[in-house]
Structure 1
Amino acid sequence: MRALRILLILVVILGGLFTAADRAAVYFVEGEIADRVKSSQGLSSTPEVSIKGFPFLTQVLATSLDEVDISLDGVSASADGHAVQVTEVKAELRDVKFNSSFSAATAARATGSARISYADLAKSAPKGSTIGYAGAERAAKGQVKLTGRLADVLEGAGVSVPDPVKALLGDKTASAYSTVSLVNGDTVRLRSADLPTVPIPGLEDQIRDAVDYDLKIDGLPSTIKLDQVTATEDGLRFSGAGTNVSLAG
């Protein structure tokens, strides 16, 4: 009986040592992957890497990881010199296979996501305007609502508004609706879908020029493939999925 107790104690101790070694290896490799992703893709900040699954060491021996999650801060987008913060940038990699030298890897499946709040998105809009949720019906069409004092929006977009026109417009506040799309996986495109009626001929084209623009997202890792955008109550949410995604070494 005493021998059995000793054996059980040894099993517990060895199991604990194995678990500790396994977790230590995970933390080390997570840091190595994070540093490698940052350097190979020229990121401005170090991503957070989380390797799932236990035990980890047996996965390494098989040169295959079940799940690797990457999250990143410090990603921004820009339009005409205006910087916009991109938040909740994530990549979820599944069935990641390494080559024999661990210098390259391929994820059988990968999903990516990111978000831009309306408050941040408004920083890219013409000065004097705000961007917000357009309601369920228009959001289903991928549209957002841009609101502002008409004269301020035009001047904020660099359109010269003569004093007589300003007087005619007065404090008129108008709303425009723009359809949002994603181009080439890194460019948010806003194009007017519904413009306000204005009393001055030709002014509608200038309003359209003011509210139509592209927003380029900088600093996304190549593992994050975005191809869809959804207008939600708390901002624009981006998502995408891919198969056999190559990870830079």
Structure 2
Amino acid sequence: MADSYPVQDEAYGEKPRRRRGRRALVVLVILLLVLAGLLVVADRVAAGVAERMVAEQVDKEISRKNIQSTAPEVTVGGFPFLTQVLDGRYDSVKVLLRDVQGPVEGTEATVKVPELTVDARDVTASLDTLRSGQGEVTAKTVQGTGTVTYDSVVALIDRPGVQLREQEGKLGVTAPVQVPIINQELTVQGTANVTVDGDDIVIAFDRLSSADLPDNPVIQTFVNNFARQLTVRVPLPPLPFALQLHEVRPLPNGLSVTASASDVALSEVS
């Protein structure tokens, strides 16, 4: 009996030590999780500060271009953000401009782009620039995408009853035309050639047809002349960041435009 007491004491002494070890491990894990959470929060807070700074400078840039839009919405990509800050280089900066619009010189029409998304890649901004708001933010490449509403284009055509739509990947039109030769109004349809000329979208209709169109070359010539009168240039609002228009595609909700630029100053404050 006496010999069994040390074994019992040893067993009773081991259990508290094991429990204390497990508690210490749990506390360490919790502390690490809290620290990781704080680092994530700090990272996101720093990213938010940078996004506000870039948004302010972008707002100044588009104001210089006389572009009307809502306040820029900026998202800085890449994680973790703080390591990008120390390096002074960022994976991407995305800018969303809503309700972009600009007047067309010599007319009362307005070209409307409900959303213009600008995606800047390989962005460089020093820590001093982020801290002071003074300096330069540059991007190796910038791509902008948006959609010009069909209402804007119809307003520029300025012909009553004209309707535009996407038709099997092309720009389709339906329009009424009064044919004096037969003293009759016909509804004509056709597709357009859509091209880019500088910062303008050029829409040209070469030939229109109608199920009710008489087989008469004189009337066909009249309708073809009417088609050419529908040709219109759609000037985009001045694009920020030296973006150059290079592609236009008809979509169900409007003309999708794509523009790009290289080695661009997103903001420059003197």
TM-score normalized with structure 2 length: 0.73
Give the Å deviation of 1:211.
0.7
Q: Secondary structure at the match of 1:248?
A: strand
Aligned residues: 229
Give the Å deviation of 1:57.
1.5
Conservation of the 8 A alpha-carbon contact between 1:109 and 1:242: yes
Conservation of the 8 A alpha-carbon contact between 1:90 and 1:224: no
The equivalent of 2:266 in structure 1 is: 247
The equivalent of 2:161 in structure 1 is: 128
How far apart, CA to CA, are the structure 2 residues paired with 1:206 and 1:77?
A: 30
How far apart, CA to CA, are the structure 2 residues paired with 1:49 and 1:169?
A: 57
Conservation of the 8 A alpha-carbon contact between 1:179 and 1:192: yes
Q: Specify whether residues 225 and 100 from structure 1 end up closer, same or farther in structure 2 by C-alpha distance, changes over 3 A only.
A: farther
How far apart, CA to CA, are the structure 1 residues paired with 2:183 and 2:91?
A: 61
The equivalent of 1:158 in structure 2 is: none
1:149 aligns with 2:162: no
Q: Secondary structure at the match of 1:149?
A: strand
* 4+ aligned runs moved over 6 Å, structure 1: none
Conservation of the 8 A alpha-carbon contact between 1:77 and 1:86: no
Give the Å deviation of 1:247.
1.9
The equivalent of 1:156 in structure 2 is: none
1:237 aligns with 2:256: yes
- Give the one of 177, 187, 190 matched to 2:203: 190
TM-score normalized with structure 1 length: 0.78
How far apart, CA to CA, are the structure 2 residues paired with 1:95 and 1:176?
A: 44
The equivalent of 1:9 in structure 2 is: 30
Matches within 5 A, 1:57-68: 57-68=82-93
Amino acid in the other structure paired with 1:107: A
Matches within 5 A, 1:200-219: 203=222, 207-208=226-227, 210-219=229-238
How far apart, CA to CA, are the structure 2 residues paired with 1:77 and 1:148?
A: 26
* Structure 2: gaps spanning 5 or more residues: 1-20, 130-134
How far apart, CA to CA, are the structure 2 residues paired with 1:107 and 1:5?
A: 46
Q: Specify whether residues 50 and 201 from structure 1 end up closer, same or farther in structure 2 by C-alpha distance, changes over 3 A only.
A: closer
How far apart, CA to CA, are the structure 1 residues paired with 2:267 and 2:56?
A: 12
How far apart, CA to CA, are the structure 2 residues paired with 1:77 and 1:132?
A: 22
Give the Å deviation of 1:181.
1.4
C-alpha distance after superposition, 1:210-242 (max 9, x if no partner):
311211111532264431112234432112344
Matches within 5 A, 1:39-58: 39-42=60-63, 43-44=67-68, 45-58=70-83
The equivalent of 1:114 in structure 2 is: 146
Conservation of the 8 A alpha-carbon contact between 1:97 and 1:107: yes
* Structure 1: gaps spanning 5 or more residues: 152-164
Percent identity of paired positions between Structure 1 and Structure 2: 25
1:74 aligns with 2:74: no
The equivalent of 2:112 in structure 1 is: 85
How far apart, CA to CA, are the structure 2 residues paired with 1:60 and 1:166?
A: 70
Q: Secondary structure at the match of 2:185?
A: coil
Ranked by relative contact order (alpha carbons within 8 Å, sequence separation 6 or more), the top structure is: 1
